[in-house]
Amino acid sequence: MELKINNKCDRCNEQTAIVLPYGPHNLCKKHFIELFEKRIKKTTAKEGMLKYGEKIAVGVSGGKDSMVTLHMLNELFGKTKHNKIIAIMIDEGIKGYRDKAIEIAKKYCEENNIEHEIIKFEKEIGIDMHKTMEKIKKDKSLGSTCSFCGVFRRKILNEKAAEIGADKLATGHNLDDEVQSIIMSITDNDLTRIARSGETTGQRKNQKLVPRIKPLYETPEKEIIAYANMKGIEYYRQECCPYSWMAKRNYYRQMLNELENNFPGTKFKILEAHKQLKPLLKKMEMEKGANFKECTICGEPCNGEICGTCKQLKKLNKTKNQKIYKTTETKKETLSCCQTKFSN
Ligand code: SF4
Ligand SMILES: [Zn+2]
Ligand SMILES: [Zn+2]
């Protein structure tokens, strides 16, 4: 499709503020904001995503995606007395990065009267990302920092959301994240992960598992940045996470951005293909009898015998010449922090 860049908005006589190549749309600020918010309202109105009277926990990092998610949910649901919004901020212990981002998120919550909590990796699971990185440096076979950070964060967010009695846990995953995950699952030949991913994940059959929702999953990353800037929503925009260079996801991001530049609309098409494939893959999963179990170490819901966090913590504790990291004292020195925490 040929991209026509006009100086005037397609919908009025105002000056174009943004060009959306997949449209193609030339939109002024007002009409872009309208399109952006309408899309998110439509996404959140989808069956089961958000309901009247629900308590919504929002995982907030201080980055653009989670700040826009928090802003939108607060605008749509937080200002009524029927729904309650609580922001959960996770401090992984990445100094000079997350602490700065959390400050921004905290300020936003205070200014907008949003209840919020800050949870530290170190306190919850007994190790922060700085110490994890030190271990990885000594033993490269442990894998990337993100493979630890991601599972730890997921676990803590779910635990906290369950603890505060949230009905849903909203995260800032956007279209780009979603599409990267789909393609990564395909190249990993992990059909189970594809079957379980999507705008709403998790099931309430297990009381410990809070269903996750992704209000921005149909929204491109570039538009989130544009919206935040146009609306004056502050977010952390300085250096990237110092450990992000190890993320496998970066390769996929680059490849998909290149595809999108050459063939606008590719990301939406991949998401659409996923929506159509998902019911089939889910059926296949059900036929295999795959279901949530409880981790034999910590009791958290998981797919196998041991949850991702316990697996990762075990790996860290097995590293040569390293002591077990934990904040609470225990005599069981050979146990992982997770075992310790849940066996007390
Ligand atoms: S880039 Fe990786 S290490 Fe850094 S915050 Fe994200 S998941 Fe954690
Ligand atoms: Zn306009
Ligand atoms: Zn576990």
Identify which ligand lies nearest to the alpha carbon of 306: 3
Provide the whole-model pTM: 0.85
Q: Are strands 18-20 and 25-27 parallel, antiparallel or unpaired?
A: antiparallel
What are 103's two structure tokens?
A: 């400050």
Beta-carbon neighbour count of residue 342 at 10 Å? 14
Helix ranges (DSSP H) in the chain: 29-45, 64-73, 98-111, 121-125, 129-138, 145-163, 175-187, 191-196, 221-231, 249-262, 266-288, 308-318, 337-343
Which phi and psi (to 5°) does residue 210 adopt?
-85, 125
Distance of alpha carbon 317 from the chain centroid: 27
Partners of 168 in the β-ladder: 56
Residues within 5 Å of ion ligand 3 by Cβ? 295, 297-298, 300, 307, 310
CA–centroid distance, 251 to ligand 1, in Å, is 15
CA-CA distance, 246 to 249, in Å (whole number)? 9
Helix axes 64-73, 29-45, angle to 10 degrees: 70
CA–centroid distance, 8 to ligand 2, in Å, is 8
Which phi and psi (to 5°) does residue 343 adopt?
-90, -10
Can you give the C-alpha Rg of the chain in angstroms?
21
Partners of 57 in the β-ladder: 86, 169
What are 167's two structure tokens?
A: 């009905």
CA-CA distance, 36 to 242, in Å (whole number)? 31
For atom 5 of ligand 1, the residue with the nearest CA is 241
> Counting Cβ atoms within 10 Å, is residue 226 exposed (0-12), middle (13-18) or buried (19+)?
buried
pLDDT by residue, tens only, the chain of 344 residues:
455 667 899 999 999 999 999 987 899 999 999 999 999 999 998 867 888 889 999 999 999 999 999 999 999 888 877 889 999 999 999 988 999 999 999 999 999 999 999 999 999 988 999 999 999 888 888 888 888 998 999 999 999 999 999 999 999 999 999 999 999 999 999 888 888 877 676 555 567 789 999 999 999 999 999 999 999 999 999 878 888 766 788 899 999 999 999 999 999 999 999 999 988 888 887 776 666 678 888 888 787 888 888 998 888 875 444 433 333 333 332 222 222 222 22
CA–centroid distance, 59 to ligand 3, in Å, is 21
Identify which ligand lies nearest to the alpha carbon of 247: 1
Ligand 1 pocket, residue 105 CB under 6 Å: no
CA–centroid distance, 14 to ligand 1, in Å, is 40
For atom 7 of ligand 1, the residue with the nearest CA is 146
- In ligand 1, the atom with minimum distance to the C-alpha of 150 is 7
CA–centroid distance, 32 to ligand 2, in Å, is 8
CA–centroid distance, 298 to ligand 3, in Å, is 4
CA–centroid distance, 308 to ligand 3, in Å, is 7
Helix ranges (DSSP H) in 46-128: 64-73, 98-111, 121-125
Q: Are strands 200-201 and 212-213 parallel, antiparallel or unpaired?
A: antiparallel
Identify which ligand lies nearest to the alpha carbon of 28: 2
Ligand 1 pocket, residue 146 CB under 6 Å: yes
Ligand 1 pocket, residue 243 CB under 6 Å: yes
- Contact between 316 and 132 under an 8 Å Cβ cutoff? The reply is yes
The per-residue pLDDT for 339 is 27
Which phi and psi (to 5°) does residue 135 adopt?
-70, -40
The per-residue pLDDT for 3 is 57
Identify which ligand lies nearest to the alpha carbon of 92: 1
Amino acid identity, position 177: D
- In ligand 1, the atom with minimum distance to the C-alpha of 61 is 5
- In ligand 1, the atom with minimum distance to the C-alpha of 145 is 3
Ligand 1 pocket, residue 149 CB under 6 Å: yes
